[in-house]
Structure 1
Amino acid sequence: MGQHDHHEHQGDSLADAARANLEKSGEKWTDTRAAIFDALADFSRPASAYDIAELVSAARGKRVAPNSVYRILDLFVANNLAMRVESANAYLANSHPGCEHDCIFLVCDRCGEATHVDDDSLSQQVRKVASGEGFKSIRPVIEVRGICQKCN
């Protein structure tokens, strides 16, 4: 299968695609979930729940607790609306909600940017190795830390 293409959404199109994907799974698209998704989508780099809580709190004029943001981000990850960069404990909006595959992140140690790469052949190989060891793999986490092209 290898690398593949998919429709990348931005702005209102991204929020609409996220909403449709979440509702398709039987979940509700509440005002709070919409605000958290919009805040997440505004970040160009992986954002922590604290970053998002601060942004949403400022926009709403009342405090939004990071633990509430974490719960919603977990829901977004489970429904493929967001991706978690494990090594940074941070999140990115998925610009192609509904396209299910394993993600590979190239994370820059200087600027913090995380480039999302799709390569199903690599993740399938990781799943095969795990299976060969008798491990039932749920979701491979592949992150490469280094220096991005802009910072190099």
Structure 2
Amino acid sequence: MSTVKDHGHRHKEHEGADLAHAARTSLEAAGEQWTDMRESIFTALAAIEKPASAYDIADSVSKARGKRVAPNSVYRILDLFVRTNLARRVESINAYIANSHPGCLHDCIFLVCDSCGSATHIDDDGLSRSVRKTAESAGYVDIRPVIEVRGRCAQCD
């Protein structure tokens, strides 16, 4: 997963141990516990280059722990991660990516490659603001824009 930056907001991109620390800090600030299982799932998610399904993550964590981890347990934790901004869900392919800047709140805007499966997350506050305003003028509340653009990435073209 790659991220295109500077579309209306600057933030620090985390990776490796720094990303795990930022995720833990963010989760605990939200009043949640950073358990061994949550850490294992976040570590597995962050290690996968492309959006990963709960089954992919369950397989990875199962191998690392030496015992089977049920995908249902992974889904529950991934839902928590999405709610607390540690992960993003690529809706069209039912897959997840680690948020490389968990302390920043942004709407989800993805460019998804139909060929290789990569997903590029874009932070564009202006685009999100426009979508929110349009939805509000149509009477919607509790708006959570999820914008996905499908096509072929530069490496696959």
**1:122 corresponds to 2:127:** yes
* Structure 1, gaps ≥5 residues long: none
> Which amino acid in the other structure matches residue 69 of structure 1?
V
Asked if structure 2 preserves the Cα contact closer than 8 Å seen for 1:22 and 1:28, the reply is: yes
The structure with the largest strand share of the pair is 2
Asked if structure 1 preserves the Cα contact closer than 8 Å seen for 2:135 and 2:143, the reply is: no
Counterparts of 1:39 and 1:45, CA distance in 2: 12
Post-superposition Cα deviations, 1:72-120, rounded to whole Å, max 9, x if no partner, equal 0000000000000000100000000110011210000000000000101
Counterparts of 1:134 and 1:150, CA distance in 2: 41
Residue 149 of structure 1 corresponds to 154
* Structure 2, gaps ≥5 residues long: 1-5
Counterparts of 1:80 and 1:14, CA distance in 2: 13
TM-score (norm 2): 0.94
Residue 107 of structure 1 corresponds to 112
> Which amino acid in the other structure matches residue 81 of structure 1?
L
After TM superposition, which residue ranges in structure 1, 4 or more long, deviate above 3 angstroms?
A: none
Residue 77 of structure 2 corresponds to 72
State the shift of 1:135 in Å: 1.2
Asked if structure 2 preserves the Cα contact closer than 8 Å seen for 1:22 and 1:29, the reply is: yes
Counterparts of 2:12 and 2:118, CA distance in 1: 22
> Which amino acid in the other structure matches residue 100 of structure 1?
L
Counterparts of 1:131 and 1:8, CA distance in 2: 31
Give the counterpart of 2:59 among 43, 54, 71: 54
Give the fraction of aligned pairs with identical amino acids, expressed as a percent: 68
Give the number of the structure with larger relative contact order, counting CA–CA contacts within 8 Å between residues 6 or more apart.
Answer: 2
Matches within 5 A, 1:125-144: 125-144=130-149
Matches within 5 A, 1:6-17: 6-17=11-22
TM-score (norm 1): 0.97
Counterparts of 2:12 and 2:139, CA distance in 1: 36
State the shift of 1:128 in Å: 0.7
